[in-house]
């Protein structure tokens, strides 16, 4: 399974649940934009490690809306404190999907420590998160997402990037469009 397959499944879930969607740095943003560009998507073009925190902030500020954040293993490793903060708040309207490709996909696929044995599901549970799910196939992810609207899903994928076009909006345009639609 590739990351863009996961992103497509998440986009379907976001549409079905009218969720705000925050996408991780770089190429995952471009992949989401290619799969499903809507004004309620927030593309984190250059802030590695912050999608999970921004998603949590949105979920707390807009408790009447579902929020889904797409983050990567490299980004979560940079901001592991977010896992504890998410556990301490546990909003029922927030779903964090961590796409674990074992690599820093946006910078050349250098290996992360998840390719060397670090298990982010165990780390998330150790940080106090109760609802942590794992998937390694499209079918498994679909089954989890049918039942789950909050918590964390760690999805293992192959370390590759889809060949998708660049997002033609600048960060200010992305932010203005998103804010106008939430």
Burial 7-25 (b: 16+ CB within 10 A, else e): bbbbbebbeebebbbbbbb
The pLDDT, as a whole number, for residue 182 is 92
The pLDDT, as a whole number, for residue 79 is 94
Report, at the CATH architecture level, how domain 3-180 is classified.
3-Layer(aba) Sandwich (3.40)
Rounded Cα–Cα distance for residues 37 and 51 (Å): 17
The pLDDT, as a whole number, for residue 47 is 79
Angle at Cα 79 formed by Cα 121 and Cα 40, nearest 5°? 90
The pLDDT, as a whole number, for residue 108 is 75
What's this model's pTM, rounded to 2 decimal places? Answer: 0.96
Rounded Cα–Cα distance for residues 3 and 177 (Å): 25
Task: Tell me the three state secondary structure of residue 165.
Answer: coil
Scan for tokens 């009447």, then name that residue.
64
Rounded Cα–Cα distance for residues 99 and 147 (Å): 19
Q: What is the pLDDT along the chain (182 residues), one digit of tens a residue?
A: 999 999 999 999 999 999 999 999 889 999 999 999 999 999 998 778 899 999 999 999 999 999 999 999 999 999 999 999 999 999 999 999 999 999 987 777 789 999 999 999 999 999 999 999 999 999 999 999 999 999 999 999 999 899 999 999 999 999 999 999 99
Rounded Cα–Cα distance for residues 176 and 163 (Å): 27
**Residues with Cβ < 8 Å from 150, sequence gap 6 or more?**
90, 91, 92, 93, 94, 95, 131
- Domain ranges within the chain, ordered by starting residue: 3-180
């Amino acid at each position: 399974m590739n990351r863009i397959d996961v992103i497509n499944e998440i986009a379907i879930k976001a549409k079905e649940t009218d969720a705000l969607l925050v996408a991780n740095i770089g190429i995952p943003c471009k992949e989401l934009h290619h799969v499903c560009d809507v004004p309620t998507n927030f593309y984190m073009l250059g802030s590695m490690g912050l999608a999970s925190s921004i998603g949590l902030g949105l979920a707390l500020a807009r408790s009447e809306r579902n929020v889904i954040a797409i983050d990567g293993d490299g980004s979560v490793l940079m901001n592991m404190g977010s896992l504890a903060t998410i556990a301490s708040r546990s909003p029922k309207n927030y779903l964090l999907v961590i796409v674990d490709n074992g690599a820093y996909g946006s910078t050349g696929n250098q290996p992360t420590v998840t390719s060397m044995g670090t298990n982010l599901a165990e780390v998330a549970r150790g940080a106090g998160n109760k609802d942590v799910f794992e998937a390694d196939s499209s079918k498994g992810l679909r089954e989890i997402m049918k039942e789950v609207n909050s918590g964390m899903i760690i999805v293992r994928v192959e370390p590759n990037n889809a060949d998708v076009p660049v997002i033609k909006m600048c960060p200010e345009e992305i932010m203005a469009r998103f804010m106008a639609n939430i």
